[in-house]
Amino acid sequence: MTVTALELLPAGPPGAGPALGLAAAGYREEEYLVRGVADEWGYDASGRAELRRRDVPYTTRFVLRRPADDDRFNGVLQVEPLHPEYDAALTWQALHGWILRTGGAWAGVTQDFRLAEWLRTDVDAERYGELSIPAANLRYEIVADVAEALRGEGWGARARTYLSGWSMTGSFGRVFLGDGFHARRRLAGGAPVFDGYVIGISSGGAGASGYPGLSDEWEVPADDPRRTIADHDVPVVELLSELESETHEPHLRPDGDRYRLYQVAGTAHDALGPRPGGTAAIPIVERPSNARLDLIARAVFARLDDWVRDGVAPPHADRFTYDDDHRPARDAEGNVLGGVRTPWIDEPLARYVPHSTPAVTEVTPSPWSPVADPQLMAWLRGHLVPLDPPVLAGRYASAEDYLARYAARCRALVEDGFLRWEDTETLLATATAQFLECPRALP
């Protein structure tokens, strides 16, 4: 459980920094090889975490993006276990606008053994030829090792360090907490490696996806308490869309002194905003949703930092209402009831649905994927269905009335702490474009 060497690689990954506009934002991008030793954990016969092997050698890499001027660093370091889908950086996708504006830093760590092999054999054998993660469940210690190493540097020594992930890497955080890695990993003096957590779009009730656990030999039972976030000595936030909320009801718990849950109305699993680098989502039959969970996430992360830095607790929010079938209940127009009320739901032009239909019959899977299933991939995407003109005419007196009410909802969301003021312009532009595409119902 320690880093033995860091090696700065030549400028790269090739083209990533320029493509993301980092230099123009006053940022530097560095890529490191990291060598270390980590403990491998598994489960005993009763399903409790147990140490299997000590000091297993590994070599992986991480990408670091931070202000070129150390004096501009604001103290926020986001550490992300990169997603097994081609090392996708979903926290960066959601937060990069906020990070670049405010002077934060981000580190993305290759932690999946299959992606280490893919980088070594398929991407660049010369650059990544040393990568080796010899056991799947070294991943939790590896990410903690990188965070601890970064916190030991000059600029990193003053960092407030957060672990966050989305979907499978959101579930990474659930396991990190539930199977004791947070409790075990401490800095000199006893402080935790991570000062706070965001568990993004991960349902504790989603089988192996919701709690991947430490061993393929034993699946954590559906009613296991580890699937529900417990109380810890640092703040933890769960941030869910409608899709994860469909299976998360058994693992809901009240907010606490160091815990918040936010269920965001009108959002789907794949609603983290434009993808840096231009990678495309699977095409769907329906009209893709324009919901922006990422904009809500930026405000939630900012409130988390206020909580850690100043002790200012973030707001509470209503939960979704569930029907007799334990699914999120919906209003007469088909939109969800309860949760963090977004402007596109409280002043709707459409019905927002968290699942869609694929417009293709085949997709190319990532190297780790056991199947290429368009149905599953489209199931994660949201779509919208425009409301009928008579419904719109009954809700709004005019286009000006609609836009004024939408803007008022944006302002209220800012006041409630669930939207950053600088992101309201994006939502207002989206609302205007969506209105212009609606059937002509309003004067």
What is the residue range of 307's domain? 3-387
The most distant pair of C-alpha atoms in the chain lies apart, rounded to whole Å, by 71
Residue 440 lies in a domain: no
Query: Of 300, 190, 295, which Cα lies nearest the Cα of 236?
Result: 300
Query: Of 106, 94, 433, 92, which Cα lies nearest the Cα of 296?
Result: 94
Residue 140 lies in a domain: yes
Residue 64 lies in a domain: yes
Bridge partner residues of 418 (DSSP): none
| pLDDT value for 442 | 59
| pLDDT value for 12 | 65
Helix (H) or strand (E) holding 209: helix 207-210
From CA 428, how far away is CA 434, in angstroms rounded?
10
Which residues of 336-419 form beta strands (DSSP E)?
Answer: 350-353, 383-386
Residue 394 lies in a domain: no
Chain position carrying tokens 């779009």: 201
Chain position carrying tokens 């996430």: 297
Residue 408 lies in a domain: no
In the structure encoding, which two tokens stand for residue 83, read together? Answer: 């997603």
| pLDDT value for 216 | 77
From CA 421, how far away is CA 311, in angstroms rounded?
22
Length of the chain: 443
Query: Between helices 168-178 and 139-151, what is the axis angle to 10°?
Result: 80
DSSP conformation class of 368: T
**Contact (Cβ atoms closer than 8 angstroms) between residue 74 and residue 26:** no
Single-letter code of the amino acid located at 334: G
Give whole-number Cα distances, 41 to 74, 115, 169, 229, 256, in Å. 35, 20, 18, 20, 30
Which residues of 98-193 form beta strands (DSSP E)?
Answer: 105-109, 160-166
Helix (H) or strand (E) holding 88: none
Q: Would you state the torsion angle of the CA atoms of residues 410, 416, 419, 424, taken in this order, to the nearest 10 degrees?
A: 20
| CB half-sphere exposure, 314, CA atoms < 13 A | 28
Residue 405 lies in a domain: no
Q: Domains in the chain: how many in total?
A: 1
pLDDT in tens, the chain (443 residues): 688 889 999 986 644 555 678 999 999 999 999 999 999 999 999 999 999 999 999 999 999 999 999 999 999 999 999 999 889 999 999 999 999 999 999 999 999 999 999 999 999 999 999 999 999 999 999 999 999 999 997 899 999 999 999 999 999 999 999 999 999 999 999 999 999 999 999 999 999 999 999 987 788 999 999 999 999 999 999 999 999 999 999 999 999 999 999 999 999 999 998 876 656 788 999 999 999 999 999 999 999 999 999 999 999 999 999 999 999 999 999 999 999 999 999 999 999 999 999 998 888 777 776 557 889 889 999 999 999 999 998 999 988 999 999 999 999 999 999 999 999 999 999 999 888 877 665 55
Which residues of 268-331 form beta strands (DSSP E)?
Answer: 287-288
Residue 430 lies in a domain: no
Residue 24 lies in a domain: yes
Residue 155: give its domain's CATH number. 3.40.50.1820
